[in-house]
Structures are given as C-alpha cells and as structure tokens.
C-alpha cells in the first residue's frame, strides 16, 4: 500500500536530479509566494500550485522539469498536472530544502 501511495505522488525510484539540471532542467517551486519568499532554491521559478494550470504556457514541454514544495505533496500534484498536459519529463523533487545542492 505504501509503495502505491509513493508512486501516486511521484515518490518512486530516485533520479539523479543533478544530471537532469545539467541537461537544462528547470525547478518549479509550487509553494505560495509567502513560502517562497521565506527561502527557496536560487534559479527556481515560483508558480503556486493553485495557479499552475493557468501558467503552463510559461514552461517548455520539451525541457525537463523538477517540481518542489515544502514536503513533496504539492509537487507530486504538480508533476501529475504537468504530465497530463503533455510535459515529457517531470520529476517530483520533494521538499525544496532537499534540493539545495542543485542551486545554480
């Protein structure tokens, strides 16, 4: 059951996110503007989950995307949304704090 929940929210096998970034990946932080202002990954873009569907045109579907938030739940939802809209490579990075090593 736990494995199914992890898969549903994009917490599957780990991906080398540093390699994804080397290939031109972008980090989308889906937390609120207030959360983002309190700390974020340098070079990331803040698009809150609540407004993501209306801002998809700002993103390139053929570029790798890493989503992040506070815990990984919203970023898992964002990953699913992006994939449903035709984004080819999307990774749930989980908590933004865990991605600090990817800072530009």
Q: How far apart are CA 13 and CA 62, in angstroms?
A: 22
Lookup result for tokens 């983002």: 36
Q: Which of 41, 49, 69, 102 is catalytic?
A: 69
Q: Is 69 a catalytic residue?
A: yes
Compute the 3-state secondary structure of the chain and give helix, strand, coil in percent, each to the nearest 5. 45, 15, 40
Strands 65-69 and 26-29: parallel
Residues annotated as catalytic are 69
């Amino acid at each position: 059951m736990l494995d199914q929940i992890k898969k549903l929210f994009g917490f599957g096998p780990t991906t080398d996110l540093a390699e994804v970034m080397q290939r031109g990946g972008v980090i989308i932080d889906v937390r609120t503007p207030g959360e983002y202002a309190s700390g974020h990954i340098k070079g990331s873009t803040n698009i809150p989950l609540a407004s993501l569907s209306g801002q998809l045109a700002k993103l390139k579907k053929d570029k790798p995307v890493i989503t992040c938030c506070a815990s990984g739940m919203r970023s898992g939802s964002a990953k699913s949304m992006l994939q449903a809209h035709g984004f080819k490579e999307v990774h749930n990075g989980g908590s933004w704090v865990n991605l600090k090593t990817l800072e530009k």
